Amino acid sequence: MGALVSVPAAATVFTLLFAIGGTADVATGKVLTAMVGWHLVIGVGEAIVTGLVVSAVLASRPDLVHGARGPAARKPLLTSEAAA
């Protein structure tokens, strides 16, 4: 989700900065449409690639993904043997 949202958000911030200090004779609405439109496509691509990479890591080394660790994989900080 972060990969999908962050790229168009950055394009929107760029458009705001362009509106504040841009010297080109281009309407801000056109810049916003072009930037967010293309970066939305890029964001979808990044979300797909991120999902594929995380899926591959989960398939081969689930211990590397914190959210995929089950209760059995979590070790207690203090065991009864260590306390004795």
Domain ranges of the chain: 2-74+76-83
Cα 63 from Cα 37, distance rounded (Å): 37
Q: Please answer whether residues 32 and 15 qualify as being in contact, where contact means their C-beta atoms are separated by less than 8 angstroms.
A: yes
pLDDT of residue 73: 52
pLDDT in tens, 29-83: 999 999 999 999 998 898 899 889 989 999 998 888 887 766 555 555 555 555 5
Q: Please answer whether residues 35 and 14 qualify as being in contact, where contact means their C-beta atoms are separated by less than 8 angstroms.
A: yes
pLDDT of residue 62: 86
pLDDT of residue 34: 94
Q: Please, which pLDDT band fits residue 15 given cuts at 50, 70 and 90?
A: very high
pLDDT of residue 29: 92
